[in-house]
Amino acid sequence: MKEKVKALTDQALREIGESKTQSALNDIRVRVLGKSGELTALLRNMKDLSPEERPEAGKIVNEAREKLEEAIAARLKTLDEETLNKRLKEERIDITIDEKTPQMGGYHPLTIVRNKIVDFFTSLGCIIADSPEIETDYYNFEALNIPADHPAREMQDTFFVTDNILLRSQTSAGQIRTMEKIKPPLKMLSPGRVFRADEVDATHSPVFHQIEGLVVDKGITLCDLKGTLDLFAKQFFGAQTKTRFRPSYFPFTEPSVEVDASCARCGGTGCNVCKGTGWIEILGAGMVNRNVLVNCGIDPDEYTGFAFGVGLDRITNLIYGISDLRTVFENDIRFLKQFN
Ligand code: PHE
């Protein structure tokens, strides 16, 4: 009996030590320790032994069972660890591989230039004012001193939604909304999209961008307008830039001016960018018309102001030398990448 148990145990221990998989190990367990297993069979044979021999035999078998169970558990632990390590190795993610790095985006050229203009004017104390793209006739025209029959309406081919509601054709509508809410002293900048029923070509788009500026306070004069816009031109086109102010007409400013900057490309001698004139028109401006102040409940005898409207697309094209406005709106990634 004792020899049989020893032989069986040694054999089983060897097999356990050599087993390569969890299922092979389980087979051994069933074969040796299972209900009809080899060791269990020996236990059953105890009835053939004398009563004096039985306790000793039972002890031997139980010790063998314990020993085998321990060996199986230890081997199982090793096999489980090996399996885990193998999986960790195989499924390891190599974080040093670069192929899936997402491409970084960049700012759109219009956003770059807009941010620069915003930075410049906020550094002079302007607040940023937003106003709706869908406007009423009152804010886009009427309150800006452009009544229904005014010929100046022809200057801007407007998209009407109804008789009274339209897509704003100029950010100047934001002047009125701001002056209704905030009383002078007031310095504001209002960048935004504007809409006009223009055919698309190299210099026209039905959607484009303006940046409106407005300053109202006691004692504001044309000198303030000139000084501010001259500083602006120098900031954007270089310190050597000169400005000139040509008389113009807008119903909401009086007097009105068109502001030209000396051509940054040729320095004013004339080239294809400035069409040989040496000057480039950069914005429209003027002293706020008295009627506009009155419409906003501001006393024009106490307060004066100046306003300007910059075409953001135009300035952006000038700065980057973009000759076709369409490229700015088409969002071709190859074009946009150049500005990163
Ligand atoms: N709103 C004018 C335009 O769209 C520009 C402008 C703004 C002129 C403010 C004077 C003052 O042409």
The arrangement of strands across the sheet holding 186-195 comes to 127-128, 186-195, 207-217, 304-311, 279-288, 253-262, 243-250
Write phi, then psi, for 228 (nearest 5 degrees): -65, -45
Helix ranges restricted to H, the chain = 2-18, 22-33, 38-44, 53-90, 109-123, 137-140, 173-181, 222-237, 290-295, 312-320, 326-330, 333-336
pLDDT of residue 61: 86
Helix/strand/coil for 160: strand
CB 215 less than 6 A from any atom of ligand 1: no
CB 170 less than 6 A from any atom of ligand 1: yes
Distance (angstroms) between ligand 1 centre and the Cα of 240 equals 26
pLDDT of residue 103: 75
Distance (angstroms) between ligand 1 centre and the Cα of 238 equals 24
Please give the distance of CA 7 from its chain centroid, rounded to a whole number. 75
CB 259 less than 6 A from any atom of ligand 1: no
pLDDT of residue 55: 85
CB 36 within 8 A of CB 95: no
CB 236 less than 6 A from any atom of ligand 1: no
For residue 140 the two structure tokens come to 């886009």
CB 188 within 8 A of CB 126: yes
CB 225 less than 6 A from any atom of ligand 1: no
For residue 87 the two structure tokens come to 């999986």
Helix (H) or strand (E) holding 88: helix 53-90
The DSSP 8-state label assigned to residue 271 in this structure reads -
CB 284 less than 6 A from any atom of ligand 1: yes
Q: How far is CA 314 from CA 70, 170, 203, 209, in A?
A: 84, 15, 8, 9
Helix/strand/coil for 185: coil
CB 184 less than 6 A from any atom of ligand 1: no
Return d(Cα 26, Cα 16) in angstroms, integer: 9
CB 253 less than 6 A from any atom of ligand 1: yes
For residue 220 the two structure tokens come to 């504001």
Q: What is the number of other CB atoms lying within 10 angstroms of the CB of residue 39?
A: 21
Q: Whose CA is nearest to atom 5 of ligand 1?
A: 309
CB 158 less than 6 A from any atom of ligand 1: no
Return d(Cα 186, Cα 178) in angstroms, integer: 9
Q: Write out 109-137 in H/E/C secondary structure.
A: HHHHHHHHHHHHHHHCCCEECCCCCEEEH
Return d(Cα 306, Cα 292) in angstroms, integer: 11
Q: Whose CA is nearest to atom 7 of ligand 1?
A: 309
pLDDT of residue 265: 86
Question: Does pTM top 0.75 for this prediction?
Answer: no
Helix/strand/coil for 65: helix
Distance (angstroms) between ligand 1 centre and the Cα of 260 equals 14
pLDDT of residue 326: 92
Residue in the structure block whose two tokens are 């321990």: 70
Residues of the chain with pLDDT below 50 are none
CB 145 less than 6 A from any atom of ligand 1: no
Distance (angstroms) between ligand 1 centre and the Cα of 258 equals 9
CB 192 within 8 A of CB 133: yes
pLDDT of residue 122: 98
